[in-house]
Amino acid sequence: MPTISMFLFVMFLIIITSHIMVCLMSCCYKREDDDYVNPYRLVPRKEAESYKRYERQMYNDSLRNKRRKC
């Protein structure tokens, strides 16, 4: 029984410690608004716009090809 209680206690300490570290890091390492980079934006804006143009062009080409076949 002491091993289970020790395990739970250690897990509790690990979770609390990691939570405190995350809170401290989020408070201490804030950037200026101008320097903020969205980590979820995988493709930069210009590349995304050109890719949308590329997709649109491919779609239009496929429609043209369908019309020619008919």
pLDDT digits (tens, 9 = 90+) for 37-51: 666 766 666 677 787
Give the global pTM.
0.38
What Cα–Cα distance (Å) separates residue 61 from each residue in 27, 53, 55, 67? 51, 12, 10, 10
What Cα–Cα distance (Å) separates residue 54 from each residue in 18, 42, 49, 66? 44, 18, 9, 18
Average pLDDT over residues 6-35: 84
* CA distance between the termini of the chain: 78
Average pLDDT over residues 50-59: 86
